C-alpha cells in the first residue's frame, strides 16, 4: 500500500466515532436461536428475493455469518448510486425483524475516495444486534470496498453502537474502488445524501 493512500485511510478512520464498534450484550442463551435467523433461512430468502440461487450469493452469506454470527433482522430493497471520487447512493426497502416487526425504510449516503462508476442493485441487508426496530434509523459509517460487474455480488459491513448492517448487492453496471462514507437509514425518503 502506498504511503499517501495509507495516510488518507488513517485520517478517514479518525472520523468514525470511538463507540462504533462496541458490541451489545448477547441475548440469553436459551432464546438466542429463536431471536435470530439461521444461515439456511437467510440463503433461502435472499435467493427468492434475488430470483436465483447463485454460488456467489451463498458465499457472501457464509462470509457474513462467519464474521458476524446470526442476524436478527434483514432488509430487502433496491439501490442506485454513482461516484467519481465523490459519490452518492439512494435506496429503499422493507426491514423484517425476527420478532415479527416489519418497517418500510429508506437510505441515502455520501462517499469519498477512489471510487468511480454507476450502479443499480437489488440489496439484501443482514442486520445484527438490533435491539428495537426503531434503532435502525441512524447513520452507519464504514470503509466500503466495492467491485460491481454485470450481475455481480458485493458485500460490506457498516456499524455503529454495536449494530451491524451487512448489505449484499446484486448489481448491474460498473463500479470499482474503495471509499469511506455512511448509510443513513431514515423513515422517509430524502434527496439530501447527508
DSSP letter string, 20-78: GGPPPPPPPHHHHTTTS--HHHHHHHHHHHHTS--HHHHHHHHHHHHHH---SEEEEEE
Q: Rounded distance, CA 126 to CA 108, Å?
A: 17
How confident is residue 6, by pLDDT bands cut at 50, 70 and 90?
very low
pLDDT tens digit sequence for 69-118: 999 999 999 998 877 777 888 999 999 999 889 999 999 988 777 666 77
pLDDT of residue 42: 96
Ramachandran angles phi, psi of 62, nearest 5°: -60, -45
Q: Nearest CA to 173 among 81, 106, 90, 97? A: 81
State how far Cα 5 lies from the chain centre. Answer: 24
Q: Which residue in the block uniquely carries the three cell numbers 462504533? A: 20
How confident is residue 170, by pLDDT bands cut at 50, 70 and 90?
confident
Q: What is the mean pLDDT of residues 28-39?
A: 73
Architecture of the domain made up of 31-186: Beta Barrel (2.40)
DSSP letter string, 147-160: EE-TTEEEE--EEE
Say yes or no to pLDDT of 126 above 80: yes
pLDDT of residue 14: 41
Length of the chain as a residue count:
194
**Domain residue ranges of the chain, discontinuous segments joined by +:** 31-186
Q: Rounded distance, CA 6 to CA 178, Å?
A: 12
Is the pTM for the entire model greater than 0.75? yes
The share of the chain scoring above pLDDT 90, in percent, equals 38
Amino acid at each position: 500500500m502506498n504511503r499517501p493512500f495509507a495516510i488518507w485511510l488513517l485520517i478517514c478512520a479518525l472520523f468514525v466515532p470511538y463507540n462504533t464498534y462496541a458490541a451489545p450484550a448477547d441475548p440469553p442463551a436459551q432464546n438466542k436461536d429463536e431471536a435470530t435467523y439461521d444461515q439456511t433461512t437467510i440463503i433461502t430468502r435472499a435467493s427468492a428475493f434475488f430470483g436465483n440461487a447463485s454460488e456467489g450469493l451463498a458465499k457472501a452469506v457464509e462470509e457474513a455469518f462467519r464474521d458476524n454470527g446470526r442476524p436478527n433482522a434483514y432488509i430487502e430493497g433496491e439501490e442506485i448510486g454513482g461516484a467519481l471520487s465523490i459519490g452518492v447512493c439512494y435506496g429503499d426497502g422493507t426491514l423484517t425483524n425476527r420478532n415479527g416487526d416489519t418497517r418500510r425504510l429508506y437510505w441515502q449516503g455520501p462517499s469519498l475516495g477512489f471510487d468511480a462508476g454507476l450502479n443499480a442493485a437489488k440489496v439484501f441487508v443482514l442486520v445484527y444486534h438490533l435491539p428495537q426496530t426503531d434503532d435502525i434509523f441512524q447513520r452507519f459509517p464504514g470503509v466500503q470496498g466495492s467491485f460491481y460487474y454485470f450481475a455481480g455480488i458485493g458485500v460490506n459491513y457498516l456499524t455503529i453502537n454495536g449494530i451491524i448492517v451487512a448489505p449484499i448487492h446484486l448489481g448491474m453496471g460498473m463500479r470499482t474502488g474503495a471509499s469511506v462514507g455512511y448509510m443513513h437509514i431514515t423513515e422517509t425518503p430524502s434527496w439530501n445524501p447527508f
